[in-house]
Chains A and B, each alone.
Chain A
Protein backbone atom coordinates (compact mmCIF):
# COMPACT_ATOMS: atom_id res chain seq x y z
CA UNK A 1 0.00 0.00 0.00
CA UNK A 2 1.29 3.42 -0.90
CA UNK A 3 1.98 6.03 1.73
CA UNK A 4 -0.10 9.06 2.44
CA UNK A 5 -0.47 11.91 0.03
CA UNK A 6 2.04 14.12 1.87
CA UNK A 7 4.80 11.60 1.25
CA UNK A 8 4.37 11.37 -2.50
CA UNK A 9 7.23 12.70 -4.60
CA UNK A 10 6.43 15.98 -6.37
CA UNK A 11 4.78 15.20 -9.68
CA UNK A 12 6.48 18.06 -11.55
CA UNK A 13 9.92 16.66 -10.80
CA UNK A 14 8.77 13.16 -11.71
CA UNK A 15 7.43 14.47 -15.01
CA UNK A 16 10.73 16.17 -15.74
CA UNK A 17 12.71 12.99 -15.14
CA UNK A 18 10.33 11.10 -17.42
CA UNK A 19 10.71 13.65 -20.20
CA UNK A 20 14.51 13.70 -19.98
CA UNK A 21 14.71 10.03 -20.93
CA UNK A 22 12.42 10.18 -23.98
CA UNK A 23 12.62 11.43 -27.58
CA UNK A 24 11.47 15.03 -28.12
CA UNK A 25 8.19 14.13 -29.81
CA UNK A 26 7.07 11.90 -26.95
CA UNK A 27 4.12 13.08 -24.90
CA UNK A 28 3.06 11.89 -21.44
CA UNK A 29 -0.51 11.87 -20.18
CA UNK A 30 -1.35 13.15 -16.73
CA UNK A 31 -2.55 9.72 -15.73
CA UNK A 32 0.80 8.21 -16.65
CA UNK A 33 2.65 10.77 -14.54
CA UNK A 34 0.43 10.04 -11.55
CA UNK A 35 0.93 6.31 -11.95
CA UNK A 36 4.71 6.67 -12.13
CA UNK A 37 4.61 9.04 -9.15
CA UNK A 38 2.95 6.41 -6.99
CA UNK A 39 5.11 3.59 -8.35
CA UNK A 40 8.30 5.52 -7.57
CA UNK A 41 7.13 6.18 -4.03
CA UNK A 42 6.31 2.50 -3.58
CA UNK A 43 9.67 1.54 -5.10
CA UNK A 44 11.59 3.62 -2.55
CA UNK A 45 9.57 2.27 0.36
CA UNK A 46 9.94 -1.30 -0.87
CA UNK A 47 13.70 -1.21 -1.46
CA UNK A 48 14.61 0.76 1.67
CA UNK A 49 12.30 -1.45 3.72
CA UNK A 50 14.18 -4.49 2.50
CA UNK A 51 17.53 -2.85 3.27
CA UNK A 52 16.31 -1.85 6.72
CA UNK A 53 15.17 -5.41 7.42
CA UNK A 54 18.65 -6.71 6.58
CA UNK A 55 20.20 -4.22 8.99
CA UNK A 56 17.82 -5.33 11.70
CA UNK A 57 18.74 -8.98 11.20
CA UNK A 58 22.42 -8.11 11.49
CA UNK A 59 21.68 -5.96 14.55
CA UNK A 60 22.98 -2.78 12.95
CA UNK A 61 21.35 0.58 13.47
CA UNK A 62 22.36 2.47 10.32
CA UNK A 63 21.23 1.81 6.75
CA UNK A 64 23.83 2.64 4.12
CA UNK A 65 24.21 2.42 0.36
CA UNK A 66 25.65 -1.09 0.45
CA UNK A 67 22.54 -2.35 2.21
CA UNK A 68 20.33 -0.83 -0.48
CA UNK A 69 22.51 -2.37 -3.21
CA UNK A 70 22.28 -5.76 -1.56
CA UNK A 71 18.52 -5.37 -1.18
CA UNK A 72 18.11 -4.69 -4.88
CA UNK A 73 20.10 -7.77 -5.79
CA UNK A 74 17.97 -9.94 -3.53
CA UNK A 75 14.83 -8.45 -5.09
CA UNK A 76 15.92 -9.36 -8.61
CA UNK A 77 16.77 -5.80 -9.67
CA UNK A 78 20.27 -6.65 -10.85
CA UNK A 79 20.66 -3.83 -13.35
CA UNK A 80 19.91 -1.31 -10.65
CA UNK A 81 22.32 -3.02 -8.26
CA UNK A 82 25.15 -2.94 -10.82
CA UNK A 83 24.59 0.69 -11.78
CA UNK A 84 24.22 1.92 -8.22
CA UNK A 85 27.21 -0.08 -7.01
CA UNK A 86 29.34 1.82 -9.51
CA UNK A 87 27.61 5.07 -8.50
CA UNK A 88 28.51 4.37 -4.88
CA UNK A 89 32.15 3.78 -5.81
CA UNK A 90 32.34 7.06 -7.71
CA UNK A 91 30.55 8.85 -4.87
CA UNK A 92 33.09 7.59 -2.36
CA UNK A 93 35.98 8.55 -4.62
CA UNK A 94 34.61 12.08 -4.63
CA UNK A 95 34.26 11.98 -0.86
CA UNK A 96 37.86 10.80 -0.45
CA UNK A 97 39.12 13.56 -2.71
CA UNK A 98 37.26 16.19 -0.70
CA UNK A 99 38.48 14.64 2.54
CA UNK A 100 42.10 14.63 1.40
CA UNK A 101 41.86 18.28 0.40
CA UNK A 102 40.43 19.14 3.80
CA UNK A 103 43.17 17.10 5.43
CA UNK A 104 45.79 19.02 3.46
CA UNK A 105 44.35 22.33 4.59
CA UNK A 106 44.14 21.29 8.22
CA UNK A 107 47.63 19.75 8.08
CA UNK A 108 49.04 22.95 6.61
CA UNK A 109 47.31 24.99 9.30
CA UNK A 110 48.58 22.67 12.01
CA UNK A 111 52.08 22.86 10.58
CA UNK A 112 51.91 26.64 10.49
CA UNK A 113 50.62 26.79 14.06
CA UNK A 114 53.04 24.30 15.57
CA UNK A 115 55.97 25.14 13.37
CA UNK A 116 57.86 21.88 13.41
CA UNK A 117 54.84 19.52 13.61
CA UNK A 118 55.04 16.44 11.42
CA UNK A 119 58.44 17.00 9.96
CA UNK A 120 59.34 16.64 6.31
CA UNK A 121 56.85 13.92 5.39
CA UNK A 122 53.75 16.06 5.87
CA UNK A 123 55.33 19.00 4.14
CA UNK A 124 56.10 16.91 1.10
CA UNK A 125 52.52 15.59 1.01
CA UNK A 126 51.08 19.06 1.33
CA UNK A 127 53.15 20.38 -1.53
CA UNK A 128 52.25 17.40 -3.73
CA UNK A 129 48.52 17.80 -3.03
CA UNK A 130 48.54 21.53 -3.62
CA UNK A 131 50.53 21.26 -6.81
CA UNK A 132 48.16 18.62 -8.16
CA UNK A 133 45.16 20.73 -7.22
CA UNK A 134 46.70 23.89 -8.64
CA UNK A 135 47.53 22.33 -11.99
CA UNK A 136 44.02 20.94 -12.34
CA UNK A 137 45.10 17.34 -12.86
CA UNK A 138 42.30 15.86 -10.79
CA UNK A 139 41.59 13.32 -13.48
CA UNK A 140 45.17 12.13 -13.37
CA UNK A 141 44.75 10.91 -9.81
CA UNK A 142 44.95 7.13 -9.54
CA UNK A 143 41.63 5.34 -8.96
CA UNK A 144 41.87 3.31 -5.77
Chain B
Protein backbone atom coordinates (compact mmCIF):
# COMPACT_ATOMS: atom_id res chain seq x y z
CA UNK B 1 0.00 0.00 0.00
CA UNK B 2 1.07 3.56 -0.61
CA UNK B 3 2.15 5.48 2.47
CA UNK B 4 0.01 8.58 2.96
CA UNK B 5 2.01 11.73 2.30
CA UNK B 6 2.95 13.82 5.30
CA UNK B 7 1.25 17.14 5.81
CA UNK B 8 2.54 20.25 7.47
CA UNK B 9 -0.04 21.67 9.81
CA UNK B 10 -0.01 25.44 10.03
CA UNK B 11 -1.42 27.60 12.76
CA UNK B 12 -3.98 29.34 10.57
CA UNK B 13 -7.55 28.21 11.18
CA UNK B 14 -8.35 27.98 7.48
CA UNK B 15 -5.24 25.91 6.99
CA UNK B 16 -6.32 23.72 9.89
CA UNK B 17 -9.69 23.20 8.24
CA UNK B 18 -8.00 22.42 4.94
CA UNK B 19 -5.59 19.97 6.56
CA UNK B 20 -8.52 18.42 8.39
CA UNK B 21 -10.26 17.81 5.07
CA UNK B 22 -7.02 16.43 3.65
CA UNK B 23 -6.75 14.08 6.62
CA UNK B 24 -10.28 12.80 6.07
CA UNK B 25 -9.59 12.29 2.36
CA UNK B 26 -6.40 10.38 3.15
CA UNK B 27 -8.27 8.27 5.67
CA UNK B 28 -10.98 7.45 3.15
CA UNK B 29 -8.38 6.47 0.55
CA UNK B 30 -6.47 4.30 3.03
CA UNK B 31 -9.70 2.63 4.13
CA UNK B 32 -10.75 1.85 0.56
CA UNK B 33 -7.38 0.23 0.00
CA UNK B 34 -7.67 -1.68 3.27
CA UNK B 35 -11.12 -3.10 2.55
CA UNK B 36 -10.14 -4.09 -0.99
CA UNK B 37 -7.14 -6.00 0.36
CA UNK B 38 -9.29 -7.60 3.05
CA UNK B 39 -11.78 -8.85 0.48
CA UNK B 40 -8.96 -10.29 -1.63
CA UNK B 41 -7.50 -12.03 1.40
CA UNK B 42 -10.90 -13.48 2.34
CA UNK B 43 -11.39 -14.80 -1.19
CA UNK B 44 -7.95 -16.37 -1.25
CA UNK B 45 -8.03 -17.95 2.19
CA UNK B 46 -11.30 -19.89 1.78
CA UNK B 47 -12.00 -19.26 5.44
CA UNK B 48 -9.08 -21.38 6.62
CA UNK B 49 -6.53 -18.75 7.57
CA UNK B 50 -4.74 -19.01 10.89
CA UNK B 51 -5.91 -16.64 13.60
CA UNK B 52 -3.41 -14.47 15.41
CA UNK B 53 -5.75 -13.98 18.35
CA UNK B 54 -6.44 -17.03 20.53
CA UNK B 55 -10.07 -18.05 20.04
CA UNK B 56 -10.43 -18.97 23.71
CA UNK B 57 -9.66 -15.38 24.71
CA UNK B 58 -12.31 -14.15 22.29
CA UNK B 59 -14.79 -16.61 23.79
CA UNK B 60 -14.03 -15.25 27.25
CA UNK B 61 -14.81 -11.75 26.06
CA UNK B 62 -18.10 -12.82 24.45
CA UNK B 63 -19.30 -15.04 27.28
CA UNK B 64 -19.91 -12.59 30.17
CA UNK B 65 -22.51 -10.60 28.26
CA UNK B 66 -24.18 -13.58 26.64
CA UNK B 67 -24.61 -16.03 29.50
CA UNK B 68 -28.14 -16.96 28.53
CA UNK B 69 -27.32 -17.44 24.87
CA UNK B 70 -25.48 -20.26 23.16
CA UNK B 71 -23.00 -19.75 20.33
CA UNK B 72 -23.07 -21.69 17.08
CA UNK B 73 -19.88 -23.49 16.12
CA UNK B 74 -18.81 -20.84 13.61
CA UNK B 75 -19.33 -17.78 15.80
CA UNK B 76 -16.05 -17.71 17.81
CA UNK B 77 -14.00 -18.13 14.63
CA UNK B 78 -16.14 -15.51 12.94
CA UNK B 79 -15.78 -12.99 15.77
CA UNK B 80 -12.03 -13.61 16.00
CA UNK B 81 -11.62 -12.70 12.34
CA UNK B 82 -13.91 -9.71 12.83
CA UNK B 83 -11.79 -8.47 15.72
CA UNK B 84 -8.60 -8.75 13.67
CA UNK B 85 -10.18 -6.63 10.94
CA UNK B 86 -11.20 -4.04 13.52
CA UNK B 87 -7.71 -3.82 15.04
CA UNK B 88 -6.06 -3.39 11.64
CA UNK B 89 -8.62 -0.87 10.39
CA UNK B 90 -8.36 1.32 13.49
CA UNK B 91 -4.57 1.04 13.48
CA UNK B 92 -4.46 2.18 9.86
CA UNK B 93 -6.64 5.19 10.66
CA UNK B 94 -4.32 6.06 13.53
CA UNK B 95 -1.33 5.69 11.21
CA UNK B 96 -2.87 8.29 8.88
CA UNK B 97 -3.29 10.59 11.89
CA UNK B 98 0.32 10.04 12.96
CA UNK B 99 1.53 10.91 9.47
CA UNK B 100 -0.56 14.06 9.42
CA UNK B 101 1.54 15.15 12.41
CA UNK B 102 4.78 14.14 10.63
CA UNK B 103 5.42 11.20 12.95
CA UNK B 104 6.42 7.59 12.28
CA UNK B 105 5.20 6.36 15.67
CA UNK B 106 1.55 5.84 16.58
CA UNK B 107 0.67 7.36 19.95
CA UNK B 108 -2.41 7.09 22.11
CA UNK B 109 -3.52 10.47 20.83
CA UNK B 110 -3.61 9.11 17.28
CA UNK B 111 -5.95 6.32 18.36
CA UNK B 112 -8.18 8.87 20.07
CA UNK B 113 -8.17 11.10 17.00
CA UNK B 114 -9.03 8.18 14.72
CA UNK B 115 -11.96 7.22 16.94
CA UNK B 116 -13.36 10.73 17.30
CA UNK B 117 -13.23 11.31 13.52
CA UNK B 118 -15.11 8.07 12.74
CA UNK B 119 -18.85 8.27 13.27
CA UNK B 120 -19.48 4.53 13.62
CA UNK B 121 -16.99 4.33 16.51
CA UNK B 122 -19.02 6.49 18.88
CA UNK B 123 -19.46 3.55 21.25
CA UNK B 124 -15.71 3.57 21.97
CA UNK B 125 -15.94 6.98 23.65
CA UNK B 126 -16.47 5.31 27.02
CA UNK B 127 -13.31 3.27 26.60
CA UNK B 128 -11.31 6.38 25.80
CA UNK B 129 -12.62 8.27 28.81
CA UNK B 130 -11.94 5.46 31.24
CA UNK B 131 -8.52 4.92 29.70
CA UNK B 132 -7.66 8.58 30.18
CA UNK B 133 -8.95 8.60 33.75
CA UNK B 134 -6.85 5.61 34.74
CA UNK B 135 -3.77 6.92 32.98
CA UNK B 136 -3.77 10.23 34.80
CA UNK B 137 -4.03 8.78 38.29
CA UNK B 138 -1.63 5.84 38.17
CA UNK B 139 0.31 5.76 41.46
CA UNK B 140 4.06 5.39 41.69
CA UNK B 141 5.21 2.20 43.41
CA UNK B 142 9.01 2.41 43.18
CA UNK B 143 10.99 1.95 46.34
CA UNK B 144 13.29 4.97 46.51
CA UNK B 145 12.83 7.46 49.33
CA UNK B 146 11.93 10.41 47.12
CA UNK B 147 9.44 8.34 45.23
CA UNK B 148 7.91 7.22 48.49
CA UNK B 149 7.39 10.86 49.42
CA UNK B 150 6.04 11.53 45.94
CA UNK B 151 3.71 8.54 46.22
CA UNK B 152 2.32 9.66 49.57
CA UNK B 153 1.73 13.19 48.38
CA UNK B 154 0.21 12.06 45.12
CA UNK B 155 -2.12 9.73 46.97
CA UNK B 156 -3.31 12.41 49.37
CA UNK B 157 -3.43 14.99 46.59
CA UNK B 158 -5.62 12.94 44.26
CA UNK B 159 -7.80 11.38 46.95
CA UNK B 160 -11.03 13.32 46.12
CA UNK B 161 -10.60 12.75 42.39
CA UNK B 162 -9.93 9.07 42.88
CA UNK B 163 -13.10 8.73 44.94
CA UNK B 164 -15.17 10.18 42.11
CA UNK B 165 -13.43 8.04 39.54
CA UNK B 166 -13.79 4.95 41.69
CA UNK B 167 -17.56 5.39 41.74
CA UNK B 168 -17.61 5.84 37.98
CA UNK B 169 -15.25 2.96 37.27
CA UNK B 170 -16.84 0.34 39.52
CA UNK B 171 -15.71 -3.09 38.44
CA UNK B 172 -12.71 -1.82 36.49
CA UNK B 173 -9.56 -3.35 37.98
CA UNK B 174 -6.73 -0.96 38.92
CA UNK B 175 -3.55 -1.01 36.86
CA UNK B 176 -0.37 -0.94 38.91
CA UNK B 177 2.56 0.36 36.86
CA UNK B 178 5.98 -1.18 37.25
CA UNK B 179 7.92 2.06 36.90
CA UNK B 180 6.97 5.75 36.91
CA UNK B 181 5.81 7.50 33.72
CA UNK B 182 8.37 9.60 31.87
CA UNK B 183 8.13 12.33 29.30
CA UNK B 184 5.16 14.27 30.62
CA UNK B 185 4.28 17.17 28.35
CA UNK B 186 3.04 20.43 29.83
CA UNK B 187 -0.38 21.88 29.11
CA UNK B 188 -2.11 25.18 29.60
CA UNK B 189 -2.85 25.79 33.25
CA UNK B 190 -6.53 26.63 32.78
CA UNK B 191 -7.24 23.36 30.99
CA UNK B 192 -5.79 21.03 33.62
CA UNK B 193 -5.04 22.58 37.02
CA UNK B 194 -3.38 19.52 38.50
CA UNK B 195 0.09 19.30 39.95
CA UNK B 196 0.67 16.36 37.66
CA UNK B 197 0.44 18.64 34.66
CA UNK B 198 2.40 21.44 36.31
CA UNK B 199 5.15 18.94 36.97
CA UNK B 200 5.19 18.04 33.30
CA UNK B 201 5.27 21.69 32.35
CA UNK B 202 8.27 22.45 34.52
CA UNK B 203 9.93 19.31 33.19
CA UNK B 204 9.42 20.59 29.65
CA UNK B 205 11.01 23.93 30.51
CA UNK B 206 13.88 22.14 32.20
CA UNK B 207 14.43 20.04 29.10
CA UNK B 208 14.56 23.10 26.89
CA UNK B 209 17.18 24.73 29.08
CA UNK B 210 19.15 21.52 29.16
CA UNK B 211 19.03 21.17 25.40
CA UNK B 212 20.54 24.63 25.01
CA UNK B 213 23.45 23.79 27.28
CA UNK B 214 24.06 20.13 26.59
CA UNK B 215 22.48 18.02 23.86
CA UNK B 216 23.44 14.68 25.34
CA UNK B 217 21.77 13.88 28.65
CA UNK B 218 22.60 10.89 30.81
CA UNK B 219 19.56 8.78 31.63
CA UNK B 220 20.25 8.72 35.35
CA UNK B 221 20.54 12.49 35.26
CA UNK B 222 17.11 12.67 33.65
CA UNK B 223 15.69 10.48 36.38
CA UNK B 224 17.12 12.65 39.15
CA UNK B 225 15.79 15.81 37.50
CA UNK B 226 12.40 14.18 37.17
CA UNK B 227 12.30 13.25 40.85
CA UNK B 228 13.53 16.67 41.95
CA UNK B 229 10.86 18.45 39.92
CA UNK B 230 8.17 16.20 41.28
CA UNK B 231 9.17 16.69 44.89
CA UNK B 232 9.56 20.45 44.57
CA UNK B 233 6.33 21.21 42.76
CA UNK B 234 4.25 18.87 44.89
CA UNK B 235 5.76 20.13 48.13
CA UNK B 236 5.32 23.76 47.16
CA UNK B 237 1.72 23.85 46.01
CA UNK B 238 0.04 20.84 47.55
CA UNK B 239 -2.47 22.64 49.78
CA UNK B 240 -3.72 25.07 47.13
CA UNK B 241 -3.92 22.31 44.54
CA UNK B 242 -5.96 20.13 46.87
CA UNK B 243 -8.34 23.05 47.33
CA UNK B 244 -8.59 23.52 43.59
CA UNK B 245 -9.30 19.85 43.07
CA UNK B 246 -11.98 19.84 45.75
CA UNK B 247 -13.66 22.91 44.28
CA UNK B 248 -13.58 21.43 40.82
CA UNK B 249 -15.11 18.22 42.05
CA UNK B 250 -17.85 19.91 44.05
CA UNK B 251 -19.05 22.59 41.67
CA UNK B 252 -18.40 21.53 38.09
CA UNK B 253 -18.70 17.79 37.72
CA UNK B 254 -19.31 17.82 33.92
CA UNK B 255 -16.20 19.94 33.44
CA UNK B 256 -14.05 17.37 35.20
CA UNK B 257 -14.89 14.80 32.54
CA UNK B 258 -13.73 17.25 29.90
CA UNK B 259 -10.71 17.96 32.03
CA UNK B 260 -9.69 14.34 31.64
CA UNK B 261 -9.33 14.72 27.88
CA UNK B 262 -5.89 16.37 27.69
CA UNK B 263 -4.27 13.82 29.98
CA UNK B 264 -4.32 11.15 27.28
CA UNK B 265 -2.65 13.49 24.83
CA UNK B 266 0.09 14.35 27.29
CA UNK B 267 1.09 10.83 28.21
CA UNK B 268 3.28 9.82 25.31
CA UNK B 269 4.89 6.94 27.13
CA UNK B 270 2.93 5.00 29.74
CA UNK B 271 4.25 2.36 32.14
CA UNK B 272 3.27 -1.20 31.35
CA UNK B 273 0.60 -2.41 33.79
CA UNK B 274 0.89 -5.86 35.29
CA UNK B 275 -1.83 -8.19 34.11
CA UNK B 276 -1.40 -7.16 30.49
CA UNK B 277 1.47 -9.63 30.15
CA UNK B 278 -0.64 -12.77 30.09
CA UNK B 279 0.98 -14.28 27.03
CA UNK B 280 4.60 -14.00 28.17
CA UNK B 281 6.55 -14.14 31.41
CA UNK B 282 6.69 -10.99 33.56
CA UNK B 283 9.79 -8.92 32.80
CA UNK B 284 12.61 -8.78 35.31
CA UNK B 285 14.12 -5.56 36.57
CA UNK B 286 16.78 -5.68 33.88
CA UNK B 287 14.11 -6.07 31.21
CA UNK B 288 12.11 -3.25 32.72
CA UNK B 289 15.12 -0.95 32.65
CA UNK B 290 15.82 -1.98 29.08
CA UNK B 291 12.26 -1.16 28.08
CA UNK B 292 12.61 2.07 29.99
CA UNK B 293 15.69 3.00 27.97
CA UNK B 294 14.02 2.10 24.70
CA UNK B 295 11.00 4.22 25.51
CA UNK B 296 13.25 7.12 26.41
CA UNK B 297 15.00 6.77 23.08
CA UNK B 298 11.68 6.75 21.26
CA UNK B 299 10.53 9.79 23.18
CA UNK B 300 13.80 11.65 22.63
CA UNK B 301 13.59 10.93 18.91
CA UNK B 302 10.00 12.12 18.89
CA UNK B 303 10.84 15.33 20.74
CA UNK B 304 13.83 15.96 18.48
CA UNK B 305 11.70 15.57 15.37
CA UNK B 306 9.16 18.19 16.39
CA UNK B 307 10.76 20.67 18.74
CA UNK B 308 8.90 23.95 18.41
CA UNK B 309 5.95 22.94 16.25
CA UNK B 310 5.00 20.35 18.87
CA UNK B 311 3.33 22.89 21.12
CA UNK B 312 1.18 24.36 18.37
CA UNK B 313 0.25 20.86 17.27
CA UNK B 314 -0.67 19.90 20.80
CA UNK B 315 -2.71 23.07 21.15
CA UNK B 316 -4.67 22.49 17.97
CA UNK B 317 -5.11 18.84 18.93
CA UNK B 318 -6.57 19.73 22.32
CA UNK B 319 -8.84 22.38 20.85
CA UNK B 320 -10.16 19.94 18.28
CA UNK B 321 -10.70 17.26 20.89
CA UNK B 322 -12.61 19.59 23.17
CA UNK B 323 -14.65 20.86 20.25
CA UNK B 324 -15.52 17.35 19.11
CA UNK B 325 -16.40 16.22 22.62
CA UNK B 326 -18.79 19.12 23.06
CA UNK B 327 -20.81 18.10 19.99
The chain A residues found within 8 Å of chain B, CB to CB, are: 1-14, 16-18, 20-23, 25-32, 34-49, 52, 55-56, 61-65, 68, 72, 75-77, 79-80, 82-84, 86-88, 90-95
Residue from A8, A29, A95 whose CB has the most chain B CB atoms within 10 Å: A29
A138 CB, nearest partner CB in chain B, Å: 9
Task: Tell me the complex Cα distance, A62–B62, Å.
Answer: 13
Interface residue? B218 (CB, 8 A): no
Query: Chain B interface secondary structure, helix, strand, loop or mixed?
Result: helix
Contact between A26 and B83, CB atoms less than 8 A apart: no
Task: Tell me the complex Cα distance, A45–B19, Å.
Answer: 35
Interface residue? B204 (CB, 8 A): no
State the total of A-B contacts with C-beta under 8 angstroms. 243
Q: With A1-B126, A2-B172, A49-B65 as given contacts, are A28 and B83 in contact (CB-CB < 8 Å)?
A: no
Chain B residues with Cβ below 8 Å from A22 are: 91-92, 95, 106
Interface residue? B223 (CB, 8 A): no
Contact between A87 and B42, CB atoms less than 8 A apart: yes
The chain B residues found within 8 Å of chain A, CB to CB, are: 1, 3, 31, 34-35, 38-39, 42-43, 45-48, 52-54, 57-58, 60-62, 64-66, 68-72, 74-75, 77-79, 81-92, 94-95, 98, 104-108, 110-112, 115, 119-120, 123-124, 126-128, 130-131, 135, 169, 171-173, 175, 267-270, 272-273, 275-280, 295, 298
A86 CB, nearest partner CB in chain B, Å: 5
Q: What would 11 A/B residue contacts be, using CB atoms closer than 8 Å?
A: A1-B169, A28-B105, A31-B267, A31-B268, A32-B94, A32-B110, A36-B111, A39-B111, A39-B127, A75-B120, A94-B46
Task: Tell me the complex Cα distance, A11–B277, Å.
Answer: 7
B70, B280, B298: the one contacting A12 at CB < 8 Å is B280
Chain A residues with Cβ below 8 Å from B65 are: 45, 48-49, 52
Chain B residues with Cβ below 8 Å from A2 are: 126-127, 130, 172
A92 CB, nearest partner CB in chain B, Å: 8
Q: Given contacts A39-B90, A44-B61, list 4 more A-B pairs with CB under 8 A.
A: A38-B131, A45-B62, A47-B82, A65-B74
B111 CB, nearest partner CB in chain A, Å: 4
A3, A13, A80: the one contacting B279 at CB < 8 Å is A13
A21, A36, A62, A88: the one contacting B78 at CB < 8 Å is A88
Chain B residues with Cβ below 8 Å from A5 are: 173, 175, 275-276
Q: With A30-B295, A45-B61, A52-B69 as given contacts, are A86 and B39 in contact (CB-CB < 8 Å)?
A: yes
